[in-house]
Amino acid sequence: MPIYEYKCARCGEVFQELVRSSSDEKPLKCPKCGCKKSEKLFSVFAAQGNSSKSASGSSGGAGCAGCRSTNCSTCGR
């Protein structure tokens, strides 16, 4: 069951929603302003695996040690 990110058309709030199946998709209500118009944002697949490197170590091209993402908009750093 994927979690999708949406952006409110009125206030710009970004929120997540668990969608059980494509037939379950319905207009979503923004948790901030209540608007029922939102757009699904493009998200990337993420998986976590075992690694021999520590979380504070360098991982060859990763963004920050906190989230180890190459896209630091993920963690805000």
Assess contact for 40 and 17: CB atoms under 8 A: no
Q: Please state, in angstroms and rounded to a whole number, the distance separating the CA atoms of residues 66 and 52.
A: 16
pLDDT, tens only, 12-51: 999 999 888 777 667 789 999 999 999 999 877 667 776 6
SS3 24: helix
Which residues, other chains included, contact 64 with Cβ-Cβ below 8 Å and sequence gap of 6+?
72, 75, 77
pTM of the model: 0.52
Domain boundaries, the chain: 3-40
